[in-house]
């Protein structure tokens, strides 16, 4: 049990996918201008990462049994893209309020490299660890993008030098956050 | 035989994606959401996005 907890916490904080792995930076910078947007993106990504990990985990068993592991990348990408289409269709039909807040972010998740990275990583793990790792990684992204969006909202009214406005100050803040998160190394 | 299975798997997943994409396009958006994806995109900072809000473009 402590093993599973360590895997989860390491994926969430110590080996945070954005601040340590430098993945998902595009959506991290692009969607974090408002807190509401970042929350929507975080929820959507968490759901897609979790579902894609489970599906690809079992699909990989089929690939290994058929001796066609080289098809992993192509098949995983198709599964992720199909899952995002299905999720968007499902939300559109059964939850209009959720679609209104998430709708624009769902297509962005298809191209998010975090999803493909997690699905490639979890195939080597056992099922329970896979769940812990997938959830930890996705929630780690959620945590970081939420924190970053709250800081960016404050930066809008802060006296930032002209040359540092926009992406420059955002990247500086990200670098400082990354340094802060390295303080957790060795704990989990 | 492996190549046949690989080909069938690739084709199967491709058709699955195409089918879901077409179904998604045909699914009507909920009432009041027809323009929502554009109006709700005000949080996006991607300037190359064709749905970038006009007020951000005017600031440039």
User: What tokens were used for B51?
Assistant: 């749905």
Q: Would you say A19 and A177 are in contact if contact means Cβ atoms under 8 Å apart?
A: yes
Residue A160 within any structural domain of the chain: yes
pLDDT of residue A133: 93
The predicted model gives A162-167 an average pLDDT of 83
Residue A51 within any structural domain of the chain: yes
Place of tokens 């939300």: A91
State the pLDDT confidence band at B49, using cuts at 50, 70 and 90.
low
Question: What length is written for chain B?
Answer: 60
A76-115 tens-digit pLDDT: 999 999 998 988 888 888 877 777 766 666 777 777 888 9
In angstroms, the separation between the Cα of residue B57 and the nearest Cα of chain A is: 13
Residue A149 within any structural domain of the chain: yes
The predicted model gives A37-61 an average pLDDT of 89
Contact B20 A96 (CB under 8 A): no
C-alpha closest to that of A114 among A1, A6, A2, A31: A31
pLDDT of residue A168: 87
Share of chain B above pLDDT 70, in %: 52
Q: For residue A57, give its domain range.
A: 2-182
B19-39 tens-digit pLDDT: 999 998 888 877 766 654 544
Q: Tell me the chain A residues in contact with residue B23 when contact means C-beta distances shorter than 8 Å.
A: 85, 89
B3-21 tens-digit pLDDT: 888 999 999 999 999 999 9
Burial class (CB in 10 A: 0-12, 13-18, 19+), A126: exposed
| The total number of structural domains that make up chain A | 1
Residue A188 within any structural domain of the chain: no
State pTM to two decimals.
0.81
C-alpha closest to that of B16 among A89, A79, A70, A111: A79
Residue A187 within any structural domain of the chain: no
- A104 to chain B, any CB pair closer than 8 A? The answer is yes
**Counts of helices then strands in chain A (DSSP H, E):** 9, 0
Which has more confidence, A40 or A122? A122
- Chain-centroid distance, C-alpha A48: 9
């Amino acid at each position: 049990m402590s093993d599973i907890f360590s895997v989860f916490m390491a994926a969430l904080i110590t080996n945070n996918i954005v601040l340590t792995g430098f993945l998902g930076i595009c959506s991290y910078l692009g969607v974090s201008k408002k807190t509401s947007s970042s929350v929507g993106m975080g929820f959507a990504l968490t759901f897609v990462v979790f579902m894609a990990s489970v599906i690809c985990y079992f699909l990989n068993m089929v690939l290994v049994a058929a001796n066609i592991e080289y098809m992993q990348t192509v098949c995983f990408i198709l599964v992720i893209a199909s899952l995002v289409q299905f999720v968007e269709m499902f939300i559109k039909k059964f939850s209009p309020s959720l679609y209104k807040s998430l709708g624009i972010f769902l297509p962005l998740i298809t191209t998010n490299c975090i999803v493909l990275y997690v699905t490639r990583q979890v195939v080597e793990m056992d099922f329970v660890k896979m769940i812990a790792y997938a959830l930890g990684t996705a929630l780690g992204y959620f945590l970081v993008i939420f924190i970053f969006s709250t800081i960016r909202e404050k930066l809008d009214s802060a006296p930032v030098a002209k040359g540092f406005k926009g992406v420059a100050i955002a990247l500086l803040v990200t670098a400082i956050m990354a340094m802060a998160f390295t303080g957790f190394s060795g704990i989990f | 035989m492996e190549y046949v299975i690989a080909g069938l798997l690739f084709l199967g997943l491709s058709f699955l994606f195409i089918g879901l994409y077409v179904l998604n396009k045909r699914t009507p958006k909920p009432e009041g959401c027809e323009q929502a994806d554009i109006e709700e995109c005000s949080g996006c900072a991607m300037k190359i996005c064709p749905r970038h809000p006009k007020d951000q473009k005017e600031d440039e």
